[in-house]
Structures are given as structure tokens and as C-alpha cells.
Structure 1
Amino acid sequence: MTPPSSSSTAANTEQITVLDTRIEELVAPFCHQVEQLAEIPGIASIGAAELIAEIGVDMTRFPTAAHLVSWAKFAPAVHESAGTKKQKKRPKGNPWLAATLGNAAGAQTRARTFLGARYRRIARRRGKGKAMVAVGNSILTIAWHLLSDPDSRFHDLGADYYETRINAERRARNLASALQAVTGQKIIIQGGKAIIVEPEAA
């Protein structure tokens, strides 16, 4: 294979410089939104610009984050027949948006972040493909919230979120159910505390 000549390399470099400059000009009016989105793990400034190019910055077009996720075709596709739910093949959406989300999700496979923990948790149970879609779903949800509120900033829940909060809450509910079965009293978990609900007077 013939290596590229120095003239073609210089021409390519010049073209890349021109394109980079043009992209910076187009993104400049949205520098605040780029800063917001760039804080999402795996996105950075380039990914933020790509997200803005594909979904825009006006989230009033999407009443909720779920609407954005559905529009992007990153919602789980479920078919229900005769009371039985079956996973359907996810329909194809915007390929450029999918590539940006896929790259961001791929960067989280080993990361010590909430998104990284989410990827590994789902990959163990349902496979890498579904884990990638789930993380892409989460990134779009985060992006919707950030773009909906100019004052909001990204805050990572942490890699131990599932262990310290979700699993702890699940164990608490299980223990409350067991205690309820033994005592006959109605027990609920509220604010991390077990509360005995007194029966209403007849």
C-alpha cells in the first residue's frame, strides 16, 4: 500500500483545521450547554457538541426525559401478548446520536462512576448490548435534565450507589415484610426508617 504523500497529508490537516474552526463557531452560542453536558462521564466537550447537534438545546420539544429517550430509540422495546412480556429488537434511530452515546457508554465499562456501575450491573444479567443501551438511556435522561435547567450541574451518584442505597433500601423492605408477617402489624419504610402504621379506627 502506497503511503500518503506529504502534500495530501498537509491538505488533510488543513481541511481538518478548517472544519474544527467551523465547528467551534457553530457551537460557540451554546458554550454553557457544552460545559453542562461535558461533565457527564464519557461525553467531554466533543461528545457534548455532538449531542447538541443531534438533539438541540430546547428540551420543551420533549415534555419529559422519557419522550427524548423514546424519540432517540433508546427505550427498551417490550411486546406484550396474552399477559406475557417479551423483549423486541430495538428500532434504529439517529445513527450519529447512537454513535455518540455508544462511545460514551463504552468509555464507562470500567469506570468508577454510577454509569460504569450501571453498565456492569446490567451486563452481568442481560448482556453487554442491553447494558450499552441502558447507559445510553441514562445519558440522554441526564442530558434532558441538564438542558432543561440552565443552573443545573451534573453530580455523579458514585460507583457504590447501588450497594449503599438501592440494595440497602431493598434489604430494608424485605426485613419490614418479614417483620410484618411475624407481628401482623403494617410496617413501611419511610426516610430510611421503619414506621408502624396504626390501623384506622372502625
Structure 2
Amino acid sequence: MGRWEPGARERLVLAAVDLFHEQGYDETTVAQIAERAGVTRSTFFRHFPDKRDVLVAGQAALSALLAEGIAEAPAGASPLDAVAEGLRRAAAVYGPMSREIAPRLEAVMSASAELRDRNAQKAVGLAAAMEEALVARGAAPVVARLAAELGVLAHHRAFERWAAEPDATTEAMARYAVEALDDLRVAAAALG
């Protein structure tokens, strides 16, 4: 096995998504993922605590990029404008590997209640990162919370659109996220 080859984490993610898609999440074992990725089981466990966490491998990076974009938004930006900056920054994680696995990942997530629950937990983490960044900018906690929740919803809507388009780029993901946030802003204003 190529235990010391670079890129083990990425190979593990690709192997897991492929196996989950081919034979189902419940039927796939850590040993199968490690074998397909060309690493040992112990290498798998150095990168991930269990097979569920393989599918949210980029969450920490995504949360950090969202928070950085919000923190670096112009001083006078509204909370939603700051969230838009976070969404633009976070689109950077949607590169070639994400493009490769997006359609299979969507299919795998929709087929498993456990993975849908894990994805919901991911959304809570993303919202918390944005909320904290907005509060640090001076937004009232309730405003920060609402803006963060709208940001998560915009991100999900943008990802679904991006994943459905085979040639969509990182720039398209950023554009889709901001467009989704703008749609939600209009919808929120219509609530009265």
C-alpha cells in the first residue's frame, strides 16, 4: 500500500464517495475505503474518526473561509453583505475534487438518513462560524443568527445548483451563493 504517498486524505474521500455510491453507505467498511485508497486502516483513522466524517472532510476549511470572508468585509457592510463576502470566499473550496464528487455525493447523501442527519449537523457548524464572525463585527446576536442561517440556506441552494451543472466553476459557485442570498433577502423582506 502507498502508505506514505502524499494525498492520502483526498484519496480516502474519493474512495469513500465511490464506494458509498457503488454499494451503499451501510455496506461500505473502513477497510474497503482504505484498500481502495491504497492506505492502511491506521492511516484512515489518522485522518478520520469514522466513515461518516469522510463526507464532511472540508467542513473546517469551509467554516474558516466563511468566517474570514465575513471578518474582512468592508467596515460599513450590513450583516447580509458580510455573509455574501463569506460565501464568495468559501467558494474557493469548490475546486476540481469537489466537482468530481459532487453528483455522487448528492446521491449518497439523499439515500441515507444517517448522512442527512450528519449534513444537518454540518449546517449547524457553518451557521455557528458565521454567527460568531458577525457578532465579532458588532452585529446583535439575534441579527447575526438570522444572517448566518440565511447564509447556510444560500450555501445549500448554491451547492445544489452547482452540483447539478457538470461544467460549473468555482466562480460559478460564488455567484450562485450570492444570487441565492439575494433571493432570500428579497423573500425575507416580503415576510413583512
Highest RCO, 1 vs 2 (Cα 8 Å, sep ≥ 6): 2
Higher radius of gyration, 1 or 2: 1
Q: TM-score, normalised by structure 1?
A: 0.29
Answer 1 or 2: which has greater helix percent: 2
Q: TM-score, normalised by structure 2?
A: 0.30
